[in-house]
């Protein structure tokens, strides 16, 4: 029942986003959502959008002409370190896993802000 309720919540969010008419995306680290809901439209690693140079493959589901930001880095740098997904279980592990990488957030804003000039 918990899985069904979680999927209903994801679908309600997608519905709300889609009906807004605005570009939207749902973000979730690699997990079972793509198995039980649908495959993501896009995945990324935080190091592809500069800092921090961490690994945490993340899935993106998007709609309404969401613009996927252009990657800044294409080859994995040698100094990339595992992110919180490798952390031992702890009370705050889920909170740490849910943090949106700053480089990705800035890139999304820049790519989807219609009032900014785009190259």
* Percent with pLDDT over 90 in the chain: 49
- E strands, the chain, in order: 24-29, 42-44, 54-55, 58-63, 81-82
Structure tokens at 76: 């994995």
Helix, strand or coil for residue 15?
Answer: helix
Query: pLDDT tens for residues 21-67?
Result: 999 999 988 888 999 999 999 999 888 987 657 778 889 999 999 99
CA angle 30, 36, 38 (to 5 degrees): 75
Number of H helices, E strands in the chain: 4, 5
pLDDT for 83-111, tens place per residue? Answer: 655 667 888 877 877 778 888 999 999 99
Q: What is the pLDDT of residue 82?
A: 65
Q: What's the pLDDT score for residue 117?
A: 67
| The pLDDT of residue 67 | 95
Burial 77-113 (b: 16+ CB within 10 A, else e): eeeeeebbbeeeeeeeeeeebeeebebbeebbeeebe
Give the per-residue pLDDT at 50: 74
What's the pLDDT at 60?
96
pLDDT given at position 118: 55
Residue 119 clears pLDDT 60, i.e. is over it = no
pLDDT value at residue 98: 75
């Amino acid at each position: 029942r918990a899985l069904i309720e979680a999927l209903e919540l994801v679908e309600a969010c997608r519905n709300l986003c889609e009906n807004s008419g605005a570009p939207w995306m749902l973000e979730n680290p690699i997990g079972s959502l793509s198995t039980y809901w649908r495959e993501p439209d896009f995945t990324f690693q935080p190091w592809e959008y500069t800092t921090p140079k961490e690994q945490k493959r993340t899935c993106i589901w998007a709609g309404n002409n969401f613009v996927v930001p252009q990657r800044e880095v294409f080859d994995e740098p040698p100094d990339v370190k595992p992110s919180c997904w490798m952390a031992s279980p702890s009370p705050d592990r889920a909170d740490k896993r849910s943090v949106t990488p700053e480089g990705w957030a800035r890139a999304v804003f820049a790519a989807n802000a219609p009032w900014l000039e785009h190259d």
